[in-house]
Structure 1
């Protein structure tokens, strides 16, 4: 049974001392991403933290959590992937970004930026959903001290409960592909799947979730780009009992993609933390800040049970 942490959310005065700094991150292929950096308040208590967003979720969704985390003594970077939020350039229908590039280019560049800015040898990666699924695409994965996957899984449709599987297949394999043909971008917002996405990102998202194994599908038959077997970074995945996407089976499907990594999971029951629901997205909402100390404990590598 999970017990709520006694860690406290900082006062408004403390949080106000941490002002996000708008920064630019240049990827190896020349694409420029936009992010926000928050410097640790007071004594730096732990490693820097890179927050990698979920698919179709803008960086601003995480800024309150990032501000709180900086008040706990961590330097923090959060960013938008290419084609999303502040990193989108021009019309979405003209964006040729792929989901593969979000891992091989964007996460790699964000990690390198934070390493350089902080001067530390490693950082902790807090990956929300897709943000925690692509470690096997990062050639610099060894610079990640710990991966904390929040609601991270492969989203393998076959392992979802039947009613939600039907909705996922209808949305990602039927409505979104057809909408892409008409609009030139993936209209994921119309089916409640976050911000609209570049066309190729939407297509790959549906394909990877249908196939299982998620990012392994990007590097199949490309051994020089496949780092899944080499990952030895300790992995902790937190997922909610009421999450239709990240469930016990889809989380296990993700963890099998890193066979050499030490792994632990924690299935969280919302009511045990004073919450009516948690689901896939609510972990980072201010209304659900009761979960933030648990994430912080995972970042520090503390025992969770």
Structure 2
């Protein structure tokens, strides 16, 4: 376990996966006199760098949690070398990266279990984690399968064009997925981008990674309580795509909570904006979901 200091009270850390890939992250200790909660692993959305979450991470530490956030292989600080040479897959983000980050956090804090706060893709892959039993609760923000047929019609065609048209063409021409060109976050390693499009077209998301590998498929075994928070103005995490995700965990206690931005004094919330400082009015709702299995009010 290698650690180096960082600014603003966040410790820059190195996490080594079972296959030897090095991930870089930031760890922030609890800064509250209140009773400590379980440590939190914050797993980012596809194509979103960890630095986007740091203000929220510091805020969550003030609520009594140790927090680890990191970049997946091929993204941000965890990209080593030219993007077109990166052979990372989307499945590895779950099977390797989340697994290693969770183990690092548990070892560092001495806790038996942690809370998994997953933004979009970060909350969709617990069924790929052999150590899923060590997640006490999963809170997925904007988490869904991204099933194209479950999206609103207008956005569905835009997403289809980007995921099934621009990305495959870009991989062929550039050697990586040019997702930034179509407003889908940072550019991605080729196989990450291709798998993303395939999983969204098929539905069921990460179940597609282990369809013929029952020994690596933990979806039916997951009993971690799951809460999904999704905004009423989210074009990706709709009621249909959230339901498509939750059905993949038949043994888990689960709930979906639809959030109205106006109830928090916000004009919009969408898929990405939850963790922006400008949208911190919704942060207590996320913290409440982490603390307890049931949210009594969506507002």
Category of TM-score, reference length = shorter chain: over 0.9
SS at match of 2:177: coil
Runs of 4+ aligned residues of structure 1 deviating over 6 Å after TM superposition are none
Q: Report if the CA contact (8 A) 1:25-1:109 is conserved.
A: yes
SS at match of 1:207: helix
The answer on 1:200 being equivalent to 2:191 is yes
* Aligned equivalents of 1:196, 1:51: Cα separation in 2: 21
Q: CA deviation at 1:42?
A: 3.6
Normalising by structure 2, we get a TM-score of: 0.95
* Aligned equivalents of 2:175, 2:86: Cα separation in 1: 9
- What is aligned with 1:295? 286
Q: Report if the CA contact (8 A) 1:18-1:41 is conserved.
A: no
Q: Report if the CA contact (8 A) 1:18-1:38 is conserved.
A: no
* Aligned equivalents of 1:117, 1:254: Cα separation in 2: 31
- What is aligned with 2:177? 186
Counterpart of 1:226 (choices 207, 217, 236) is 217
The answer on 1:168 being equivalent to 2:159 is yes
* Aligned equivalents of 2:62, 2:141: Cα separation in 1: 20
**Runs of 5+ consecutive residues of structure 2 not aligned to the other structure:** 1-6
* Aligned equivalents of 1:26, 1:303: Cα separation in 2: 35
Rate the CA distance shift 1:302–1:210 in 2: closer, same or farther, 3 A: closer
Q: What value does the CA root-mean-square deviation take over the aligned residues?
A: 1.0
- What is aligned with 1:114? 105
Q: CA deviation at 1:303?
A: 3.8
Normalising by structure 1, we get a TM-score of: 0.93
Q: Report if the CA contact (8 A) 1:27-1:105 is conserved.
A: yes
Q: Report if the CA contact (8 A) 1:59-1:79 is conserved.
A: yes
Aligned residues: 289
Of 43-52 and 274-283, the range deviating more from structure 2: 43-52
Q: Report if the CA contact (8 A) 2:225-2:293 is conserved.
A: no
User: How does 1:1-305 map onto structure 2 within 5 Å?
Assistant: 19-43=9-33, 44-301=35-292, 303-304=294-295, 305=297
* Aligned equivalents of 1:73, 1:18: Cα separation in 2: 18
Q: CA deviation at 1:128?
A: 0.2
